Amino acid sequence: MKKLHLCAAVLLSLAVPTLQAATPGDSVLLIHGGAGVVRSEMTPADEVAVRAVLELALRKGHEQLAAGKPALDAVTAAITVLEDDPHFNAGKGAVFTHDGRNELDSSLMDGATLKAGAVAGVHTVKNPVLLARAVMEKSEHVMMVGDGAEIFAKEQGIEQVDPAYFRTEKRWQQLQQALKEEAAGQAHADLETAKHFGTVGAVALDRQGHLAAGTSTGGMTNKRYGRVGDSPIIGAGTYANADCAVSGTGWGEFYIRAAAAHDICARMAYLKETPQQAGEAVINQIIPKLGGDGGAIVLGADGSLATPFNTEGMYRGWIGSDGVPHVALYSDEKLPSHPPAGAKP
């Protein structure tokens, strides 16, 4: 009988695969602080400050990955740092609407589960990316907007602030300039001015091989009529699945029309393009052909990455498992490539 039980146990062990613990792999975090950077508008002090904040965001996100946390935690941590800094058009540095208000949008997507959360048109949420995550994890919905999103934030204990928190003199003066241009009859002056302002985003690959993406923005200077851009729209400004993660920055109307973030991932899946090839095709060919401009960050499941953009500059950076941050601001700055898994050094 003992032999029969032993044989049965052996057969059962062969029939049911043994679950193996995930082998820790390379982790990567890639961020952007917005395309449309104009060198002539940057002071030396601005450059130093922006580079420092980009590095801080990378380090904070890397802390999560190094601790074995999921990619979504790294994305959230990095974007929170950028939302808290007035150099970027997100959170504290959000631009003003035509009516002199700050309207904030954000979204997150978990590539492993295809779960997503987004918010648009919020006025008192200190870190919209945290509210987007709450929508994803604490509700049955994907997107909440305006007053409803504010009520949900209060219910979930998400930190809210007086709207005056978001006011910065630089953004206020940008609105005044846009209003003057508009009054002088310069067509689409608000759009042309706003295209230089920095939406923020992050994409990450964790040690388990899972991807995530997130984006946060204050929208466009002088926008009105409840306008919402691509940043909180899954598939337009943000997208992640098992093979690809994307966050966009640019003229949102064109990213929506092109379903830009999803299109990049679709090209990688169906055309077997690399992040560089897919990103270049959508950001530097399709978007400009429609009349828009901007950039994106793209990360593949093998750790390969790309930062395509068609403006003078884009705040960007990445950090790998070694914990060394790499940042760049302008188009003539070379950002080192992260080698795909298995690539020879």
Residue with tokens 């395309």: 35
Q: Which is catalytic among the residues 80, 97, 193, 199?
A: 199
SS3 of the chain: helix, strand, coil, percent, to 5? 40, 20, 40
Neighbours of 152 (CB within 10 A): 20
DSSP 340: P
CA distances from 6 to 9, 10, 12, 17, 65 (A): 5, 6, 10, 18, 43
Q: In three state form, how does the secondary structure of 227-262 look?
A: CCCCCCCECCCEEECCCEEEEEEECHHHHHHHCHHH
Helix (H) or strand (E) holding 191: helix 189-194
Rounded Cα distance between 213 and 170, Å, is: 29
β pairing state of 305-306 and 294-300 = antiparallel
The dihedral sign for the CA sequence 177, 182, 186, 190: positive
Beta bridge partners of 193: none
d(CA 124, CA 337): 38
Phi-psi region of 262 (alpha: psi -120 to 50; beta: other; left: phi over 0): alpha
- Is 76 part of the annotated catalytic residue set? no
Eight-state DSSP code of residue 19: P
Calpha distance 159→171 (Å, rounded):
23
For helices 128-138 and 146-155, the axis angle rounded to 10 degrees is 80
| 20: enclosing H helix or E strand | none
Beta bridge partners of 254: none
Q: What is the set of active-site residues? A: 199
